[in-house]
């Protein structure tokens, strides 16, 4: 069955019209590929959760567990990489659709032959920044774990709610408008082969920093919520709505974070009645 | 239905400007906190407490109100035309109510300044009613204007030939598709010329979006831009407004003449006869927008995007005089070079080519710059080699990271296709190099500066 599907795909792919359409689509709307990458990630996440027998949540091994549980450095690095996978999947699924303007800027700044490579360089730089942010947040979670050790489970269960509350509060902080405006950042790129890739990579890293500065708190909240798929999907829709459809100084997103915080508070309170940490669905794993 | 008339064709004895002056004086006497005051109306377009033109403005409305209603002008975006149409409509409503309050005519309408009228020998001059200070008592005069007359290059109407409304390279008539955009990025065709060049050529308050609407001539200039939008639609030939819901349904907030908070969508300003009582332009038939299904759904982006052929990435600070640079076409890919050779052989076939100036940053109000290609005699600025003019309207705000700007600066696109085709037919055409000269048409003010991040050539 799998081989048959693969064979059919190769046949379709080789059709000249299809090949030319794919190429033309990328040339005209380079951001369409970034959306496709995001869509593929979403499909995989939902497939893993509902069809392949996984969970709607993905857990991070705690850094503390990793350090004390690892047999050697290699083991630690493997565990660390595995723990960053859900984070990076989340970045691709949620953040890539927000990059229309930047991907188009990179693609149209370069000769046609360099466009795809330039966009890939940009995305690599962008992802690298987010990877660093993710590692930092893992460390933060480890610190929180240590601080909350021995405390009532309700503290841990309410962490996503607290993080979304913080995200909502930041929406009313005047500096956030400036940061939101910076999301449109553009940089002049060289057009000669490796220099164009270097510039695109550099641009991606800077854009990653600008994005992380604005969006790290809701992303962190989702990390605390074990990348709950439904919440991720909701947050993604809110972010896309804010990015493309409303003025950047709008406070609507703040109300959305407040609602999600209320939802997590409700869950945390519910979990109290069920007793025991195992019954709490959104606590930080230790 | 009110009619907006050509300011140079007002009949003898007409009182339109007289009442405008009285209303302006009245609005200037109102406190800045009043939404119907001159300052408040000006600040809707742009505001900078540190700019000398705003020196007498305080006390100001609360920060939250400023955030909601001030600094809302839309530039470098497909909202440029509809936002300014709404802005003018509410401003006109406020002026009309003041005129009526003062005992003036109930059918008063904002006149327009048709500076592109080649049949009028004075068309390029700011109408005299605006230029005589009368010892500072003329409400229509404002200090600081650099020029009281435009040049023919400032007011060219080549943008009317652009068919798609939306686009950046090649330019669309109305601008590129964006969300809310106060400034920064590439301009639409009409916005670039004549809009920007008129602003920057007049200079002073008009040269900067933060202060432009404080100059009473601003409103006549924008009435003309608004009229040209209707002229463009009337030309037909596939010229249509965007049909995307993200454009049609986008709403902007204003205050009406009764100081109520109101909002309007782009769809509500497509037919001028239905906007706040309705208006038409003298000599321009108004027509209802075409039904949605009849609209062409082919914006400029639907065509295959042009390709960059050459680029120069060294940041170029532009000074008072001349800045020279050359674009190395030899670095282009073989296929592109072949295209250029084809273009050289077939000059009779029109080819598209655009010169793009990116990340133009700076401050103040720099002068208008003329751009020449392959000037044969370096000392003579031969108009035959003029590729276009650039007026850096909004450069300061677009260069400063802030609530409405990412600090990347503005972009300018010049259609150099016809000129390049002509140059290629000349015997001294060098296929590997294109020389570009930028020439300031005026002195650089002490508090101004401008530099260009990248200059590139795009071709088919």
Going by C-alpha positions, the residue among A239, A235, A234, A229 that lies closest to residue A281 is A229
Element (H, E) at B345: helix B334-345
Q: Pick the residue from chain A with its C-alpha nearest to B359.
A: A188
Task: Please state whether beta strands B433-440 and B307-312 pair in parallel, antiparallel, or not at all (unpaired).
Answer: unpaired
ipTM summary value: 0.79
Q: Among A200-214, A238-252, A264-278, B176-190, which range has the highest average pLDDT?
A: A200-214
Read out DSSP for B235-273?
Answer: T-TT------HHHHT-EEEEE-TT--EEEEEGGGGSSGG
Element (H, E) at B458: strand B454-459
How far is Cα of residue B141 from the mean position of the Cα atoms in its chain? Answer: 22
Q: Look at A190 and B406 and tell me if their CB atoms are within 8 Å.
A: no
Q: Say if B2-294 and B306-459 have the same CATH topology.
A: no
Element (H, E) at B370: strand B369-373
Token pair, residue B225, equals 């831009």
Q: Look at B180 and A246 and tell me if their CB atoms are within 8 Å.
A: yes
What are B363-389's pLDDT values in tens digits? 999 999 999 998 887 667 788 899 999
Task: Please state whether beta strands B2-4 and B279-281 pair in parallel, antiparallel, or not at all (unpaired).
Answer: parallel
Give contacts of A177 with chain B, Cβ < 8 Å: 403
Tell me: pLDDT of B8 over 90. yes
What distance in Å separates the CA atoms of residue B177 and residue B299, rounded to the nearest whole number? Answer: 10
CATH code, B2-294: 1.10.1280.10
Give contacts of A191 with chain B, Cβ < 8 Å: 308, 310-311, 331, 456
How far is Cα of residue B354 from the mean position of the Cα atoms in its chain? Answer: 19
Q: Read off the pLDDT of each residue in B30-56 and give the average, rounded to a whole number.
A: 96
What distance in Å separates the CA atoms of residue B115 and residue B212, rounded to the nearest whole number? Answer: 18
Q: How many CB atoms lie within 10 A of CB A260?
A: 25
Give contacts of A24 with chain B, Cβ < 8 Å: 304
* pLDDT value, residue A15: 54
Q: Look at B179 and A187 and tell me if their CB atoms are within 8 Å.
A: no
Residue B151, C-beta contacts closer than 8 angstroms, at least 6 positions apart: B124, B201, B441
CB of B310 closer than 8 Å to CB of B354: no
Token pair, residue B245, equals 């819901």
| Cα-based torsion angle of the residue sequence A195, A197, A200, A205 in order, rounded to the nearest 10 degrees | -100
Nearest-Å Rg of the Cα atoms of chain A is 21
What distance in Å separates the CA atoms of residue B185 and residue B406, rounded to the nearest whole number? Answer: 10
d(CA A71, nearest CA chain B) in Å = 48
What distance in Å separates the CA atoms of residue A274 and residue A253, rounded to the nearest whole number? Answer: 32
CB of A176 closer than 8 Å to CB of A168: no
Q: Look at B169 and A111 and tell me if their CB atoms are within 8 Å.
A: no
Q: Pick the residue from chain B with its C-alpha nearest to A195.
A: B313
Q: Which residue has tokens 């990435």?
A: B313
CB of B44 closer than 8 Å to CB of B215: no
CB of B334 closer than 8 Å to CB of B167: no
Q: Look at A182 and B401 and tell me if their CB atoms are within 8 Å.
A: yes
A to B CB pairs, distance under 8 Å = 80
Task: Please state whether beta strands B410-415 and B353-363 pair in parallel, antiparallel, or not at all (unpaired).
Answer: antiparallel
What are A196-231's pLDDT values in tens digits? 899 999 999 999 999 999 999 999 998 888 888 888
As beta bridge partners, residue B311 has: B456
What are B59-109's pLDDT values in tens digits? 999 998 998 899 999 999 999 999 999 999 999 999 999 999 999 999 999
As beta bridge partners, residue B6 has: B112
Q: Pick the residue from chain B with its C-alpha nearest to A240.
A: B179
Choose between B347 and B436: higher pLDDT.
B436
Domain ranges of chain A: 33-279
CB-closest option in B169, B305, B359 to A28: B305
What distance in Å separates the CA atoms of residue B207 and residue B395, rounded to the nearest whole number? Answer: 10
- Assign B296 a pLDDT band (cuts: 50, 70, 90): very low
Q: Look at A185 and B301 and tell me if their CB atoms are within 8 Å.
A: no
As beta bridge partners, residue B252 has: B264
- At the top level of CATH, the class of B306-459 is mainly beta
What distance in Å separates the CA atoms of residue B202 and residue B212, rounded to the nearest whole number? Answer: 10
What distance in Å separates the CA atoms of residue B120 and residue B61, rounded to the nearest whole number? Answer: 43
Chain A stretch 105-134, residues whose beta carbon is closer than 8 A to a beta carbon of chain B: 108-113
* pLDDT value, residue A194: 85
Q: Which residue has tokens 């290059």?
A: B153
What distance in Å separates the CA atoms of residue B73 and residue B58, rounded to the nearest whole number? Answer: 21
Give contacts of A28 with chain B, Cβ < 8 Å: 301-302, 304-305
Going by C-alpha positions, the residue among B283, B442, B290, B460 that lies closest to residue B367 is B442
CB-closest option in B67, B179, B333 to A111: B333
Q: Read off the pLDDT of each residue in B128-140 and give the average, rounded to a whole number.
A: 94
Q: Look at A109 and B308 and tell me if their CB atoms are within 8 Å.
A: yes
Q: What percent of chain B has pLDDT over 90?
A: 70
Residue B328, C-beta contacts closer than 8 angstroms, at least 6 positions apart: B310, B312, B432, B433
């Amino acid at each position: 069955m799998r081989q048959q599907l693969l064979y059919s795909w190769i046949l379709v792919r080789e059709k000249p019209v299809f090949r030319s359409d794919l190429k033309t689509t990328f040339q005209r709307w380079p951001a369409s590929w970034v959306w496709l990458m995001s869509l593929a990630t979403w499909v995989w996440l939902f497939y893993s959760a509902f069809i392949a027998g996984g969970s709607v949540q993905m857990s991070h091994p705690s850094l503390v567990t990793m350090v004390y549980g690892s047999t050697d450095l290699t083991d630690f690095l493997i565990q660390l990489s595995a723990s960053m996978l859900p984070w990076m999947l989340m970045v691709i699924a949620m953040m890539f659709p927000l990059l229309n303007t930047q991907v188009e800027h990179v693609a149209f700044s370069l000769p046609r032959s360099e466009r795809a490579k330039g966009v890939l360089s940009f995305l690599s730089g962008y992802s690298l920044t987010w990877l660093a942010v993710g590692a930092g947040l893992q460390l933060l979670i480890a610190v929180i774990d240590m601080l909350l050790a021995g405390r009532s489970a309700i503290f841990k269960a309410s962490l996503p709610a607290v993080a979304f509350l913080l995200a909502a509060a930041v929406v009313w902080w005047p500096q956030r408008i400036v940061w939101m405006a910076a999301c449109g950042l553009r940089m002049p790129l060289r057009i000669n082969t490796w220099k164009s890739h270097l510039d695109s990579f550099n641009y991606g890293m800077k854009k990653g920093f600008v994005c992380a500065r604005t969006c790290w708190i809701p992303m962190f909240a989702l990390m605390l919520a074990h990348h709950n798929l439904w919440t991720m999907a909701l947050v993604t829709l809110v972010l896309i709505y804010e990015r493309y459809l409303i003025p950047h100084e709008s406070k609507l997103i703040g109300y959305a974070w407040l609602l999600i915080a209320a939802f997590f508070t409700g869950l945390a309170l519910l979990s109290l009645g069920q007793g025991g940490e195992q019954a709490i669905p959104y606590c930080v794993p230790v | 239905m009110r009619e907006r008339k050509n300011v140079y064709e007002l009949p003898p004895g007409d009182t339109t400007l007289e009442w405008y002056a009285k209303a302006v004086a009245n609005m200037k006497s109102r406190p800045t906190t009043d939404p119907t005051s001159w300052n408040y109306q000006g600040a809707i377009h742009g505001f900078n407490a540190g700019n000398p033109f705003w020196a007498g403005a305080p006390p100001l409305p609360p920060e939250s109100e400023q955030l909601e209603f001030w600094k809302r002008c839309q530039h470098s975006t497909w909202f440029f035309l509809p936002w300014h149409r709404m802005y003018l409509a509410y401003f006109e409503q406020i002026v009309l109510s003041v005129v009526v309050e003062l005992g003036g005519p109930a059918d008063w309408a904002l006149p327009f300044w048709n500076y592109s009228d080649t049949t009028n020998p004075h068309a390029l001059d700011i109408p005299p009613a605006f230029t005589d200070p009368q010892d500072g008592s003329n409400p229509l005069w404002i200090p600081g204007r650099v020029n009281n007359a435009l040049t023919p290059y400032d007011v060219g109407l080549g943008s009317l030939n652009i068919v798609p409304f939306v686009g950046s390279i090649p330019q669309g008539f109305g601008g590129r598709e964006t969300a809310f955009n106060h400034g920064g990025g590439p301009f639409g065709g009409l916005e670039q010329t004549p809009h920007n060049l008129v602003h920057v050529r007049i200079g002073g308050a008009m040269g900067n979006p933060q202060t432009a609407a404080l100059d009473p001539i601003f409103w006549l200039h924008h009435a003309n831009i608004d009229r040209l939008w209707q002229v463009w639609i009337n030309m037909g030939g596939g010229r249509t407004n965007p049909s995307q819901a993200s454009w049609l349904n986008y709403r902007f907030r204003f205050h009406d003449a009764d100081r109520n908070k109101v909002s309007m969508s782009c769809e509500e300003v497509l037919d001028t006869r239905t906007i706040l009582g309705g208006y038409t332009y003298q000599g321009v038939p108004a027509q209802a927008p075409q039904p949605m299904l009849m609209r062409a759904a082919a914006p400029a982006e639907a065509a295959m995007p042009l390709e960059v052929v050459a680029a120069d990435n060294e940041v170029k600070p532009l000074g008072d005089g001349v800045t020279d640079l050359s674009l190395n076409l030899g670095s282009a890919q073989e296929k592109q070079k072949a295209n250029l050779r084809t273009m050289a052989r077939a000059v009779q076939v029109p080819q598209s080519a655009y010169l793009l100036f990116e990340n133009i940053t700076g401050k103040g109000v720099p002068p208008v710059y003329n751009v020449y290609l392959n000037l044969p005699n370096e000392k003579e600025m031969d108009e035959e080699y003029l590729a276009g003019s650039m007026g850096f309207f909004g450069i300061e705000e677009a260069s400063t990271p802030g609530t409405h700007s990412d600090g990347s600066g503005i972009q300018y696109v010049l259609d150099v296709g016809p000129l390049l085709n002509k140059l290629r037919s000349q015997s001294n055409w060098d296929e590997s190099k294109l020389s570009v000269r930028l020439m300031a048409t005026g002195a650089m003010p002490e508090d101004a500066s401008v530099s260009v991040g990248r200059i590139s050539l795009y071709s088919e």
